[in-house]
């Protein structure tokens, strides 16, 4: 969606759930103190430099906000809109793409009850293989459990907000990107244009492309990563991951 002038999505922050928790801990304190505590979650994140914005500006705006607007959702809105104003002025929608959010969707949904959620589902064997390659997890079991938990939590959440929840398959996205992205545009009520498929020209705008796990962003959309687990994992690990994920893979149609 990087080609849409209507949508702004900053680099992964990993901070939303922790900022929500901090707000609830300090919600009975003075508003200025609450704002400082919530924004400190982002300020103290070592990856937040990728946003390239001044939190002082956000803080100053929020300190003087009307009392009726002193809510957590407005703290986040001011933060993300400040990013949008600097990087894509005129956009109408902001979003967050942090994968970890799947573990805290109920928290996020409570803050933004009218928001929409797009759940990208990928073959768990490829996901687990990627986790291990990134050294995100040390064992097959840990990687498998993370994928299974994410899928179950996201789908359980989605079942409660059906009209505002959408699932797309990674495999469909990279095989037929135009068709998949058109569906996303319809869901978000934004106009589709073919520039959305030209992600390479938009890579520099993403802010966090220096991360190793984003290395493929500089390449054309391709289906070559489908089934990589068969090449990246040993035969014994292939058998283990297939056995561990057998039930959810079957339920999702990835195995017969």
CB 187 within 8 A of CB 1: no
The C-alpha atoms of residue 62 and residue 74 are separated, in whole angstroms, by 8
Residues 87 and 140 in one domain: no
On whether both 20 and 95 belong to a single domain, the answer is: yes
Q: What is the per-residue pLDDT across 152-201, written as a single tens digit (0 to 9) for each?
A: 999 999 999 999 999 999 999 999 999 999 999 999 999 998 888 876 65
Dist CA 218 CA 211 (whole Å): 12
Question: Among 74-78, 86-90, 150-154, which is the least confidently predicted range?
Answer: 86-90
Q: For the chain, what is the mean pLDDT?
A: 91
How many folded domains does the chain comprise? 2
Whether 218 and 256 map to the same domain: the answer is yes
Domain boundary residue among 115, 130, 150?
115
225-247 pLDDT per residue, tens: 999 999 999 999 999 999 999 99
Q: Are residues 95 and 134 in the same domain?
A: no
Contacts of 151 (CB under 8 A, 6+ apart): 121, 124, 248, 252
pLDDT value of position 201: 58
- Distance from C-alpha of 183 to C-alpha of 50, rounded to nearest angstrom: 29
Q: What angle do CA 8, 181, 99 make, to 5 degrees?
A: 55
Checking if the pLDDT of 206 tops 90, the result is no
Domain residues for the domain of 175 are 120-256
């Amino acid at each position: 969606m990087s080609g849409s002038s209507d949508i702004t999505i900053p680099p992964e922050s990993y901070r939303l759930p922790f900022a929500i928790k901090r707000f609830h801990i300090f919600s009975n304190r003075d508003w200025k103190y609450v704002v400082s505590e919530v924004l400190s979650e982002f300020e103290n994140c070592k990856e937040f430099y990728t946003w390239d914005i001044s939190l002082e500006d956000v803080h100053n705006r929020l300190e003087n906000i009307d009392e009726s607007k002193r809510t957590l959702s407005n703290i986040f809105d001011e933060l993300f809109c400040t990013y949008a104003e600097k990087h894509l002025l005129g956009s109408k929608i902001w979003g967050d793409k942090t994968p970890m959010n799947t573990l805290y969707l109920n928290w996020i949904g409570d803050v933004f009850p009218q928001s929409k959620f797009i759940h990208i589902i990928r073959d768990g064997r490829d996901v687990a293989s990627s986790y291990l390659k990134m050294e995100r997890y040390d064992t097959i079991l840990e990687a498998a459990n993370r994928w299974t938990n994410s899928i179950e939590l996201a789908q359980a959440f989605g079942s409660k907000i059906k009209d505002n929840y959408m699932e797309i398959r990674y495999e469909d996205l990279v095989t037929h990107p135009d068709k998949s992205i058109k569906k996303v545009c319809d869901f978000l009520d934004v106009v589709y244009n073919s520039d959305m498929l030209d992600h390479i020209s938009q890579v520099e705008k993403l802010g966090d492309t220096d991360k190793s796990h984003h290395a493929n962003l500089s390449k054309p959309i391709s289906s070559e990563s489908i089934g990589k687990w068969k090449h990246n994992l040993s035969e014994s690990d292939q058998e283990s991951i297939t056995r561990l994920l057998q039930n959810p893979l079957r339920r999702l149609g990835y195995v017969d």
